[in-house]
Amino acid sequence: MICKLSNSTHDLAPEFKLGPGDIHIWMAAPDEIDDAALSDYQTLLSETEDQQWRRFHFEKDRRLHLISRALVRTTLSGYTGAEPRAITFSENKYGKPEISAPERRHIRFNLSHTQGLILCGIALTEDIGVDVECPGNRDPEMAEIAQRFFSPAEARDLADCPKEMQRELFFHYWTLKEAFIKAMGRGLSLPLNQFAFDLSREKKPRISFSHPDDPSGIWTDNDPKDWLFQSLCPSPRHIAAVAVKRKKGIEYRVSVKKFMPNQVKIRLP
């Protein structure tokens, strides 16, 4: 796959064209990226990103950070037509990044990574959040975490689940919660036990809000019907989720795309 860069949105490669309702989830496996490509990725980093990359002590962490930034920059360059290095970012007060330049800053994105996989979600104008986890690499105290951070209904659902299926169900709940708070752009300032997912009735998860005291209006200003959620299994080892604040009258389509940064020809200025 070649990333064709252009200053005209009409000349973008087909895989980088977003229509109303298109949600693209790009995934990259760090283990599939050869070492020869890493030096090219270093040239894409901003000064701050380069400093962050050099501070990592372990090589696996440096590699993950470097490939994550290459994925974000080369993917966004495909959608905006800008050079990867020309893209700049800003953060809201909770730390959620967004494009500040070039002009097509309405493109929204979100990044998540875990051992063995990186996901980058892209939407045209909608708030989006993604999360990916590697359950086999973690041994969480599921019951304790559920009691602290899950809603009562979610905690009961986990407790009632057959033991051999509890880990999978736990991470489906966890990734959905993480994706939602990332889409909201408020991080852990949102209490995780004040919203709940229903995974039992429909193909797509549904959310509900519990707000006995909501002076900020966070929950009362949000309608559960405005949200689209989808659980994903992007590989046999991983569980992921995407959250999108949808617009009325639009039918949404979530597409998962395999991205190999070492197959992308990066045109440097």
Same domain, 55 and 143: no
Of the candidates 73, 102, 106, 79, the one whose C-alpha atom is nearest the C-alpha of residue 6 is 79
Same domain, 93 and 149: no
Evaluate whether residue 253 is within a structural domain: yes
Of the candidates 131, 130, 28, 121, the one whose C-alpha atom is nearest the C-alpha of residue 79 is 121
Same domain, 49 and 153: no
3-state secondary structure of 235: strand
Same domain, 86 and 188: no
21-57 b/e with 16+ CB inside 10 Å = b? bebbbbbbbbeebeeebbebbeebbeeebeeebeeee
Evaluate whether residue 15 is within a structural domain: no
- Kindly report the backbone phi and psi dihedral angles of residue 70, in degrees, each rounded to the nearest multiple of 5, phi listed first: -65, -40
Same domain, 102 and 163: no
Query: Residue 176 maps to which CATH number?
Result: 3.90.470.20
Same domain, 262 and 218: no
Q: What is the mean pLDDT of residues 157-172?
A: 94
Q: What is the mean pLDDT of residues 148-155?
A: 94
Same domain, 158 and 235: yes
Q: What is the pLDDT of residues 30-45, one digit of tens each?
A: 988 888 788 888 888 9
User: What total number of domains does the chain contain?
Assistant: 2
Q: Which helix (H) or strand (E) holds 258?
A: strand 253-258
Provide the domain limits for residue 87. Answer: 20-125+248-269
Evaluate whether residue 179 is within a structural domain: yes
**Predicted TM-score of the model (pTM):** 0.89
pLDDT of 69 strictly over 70: yes
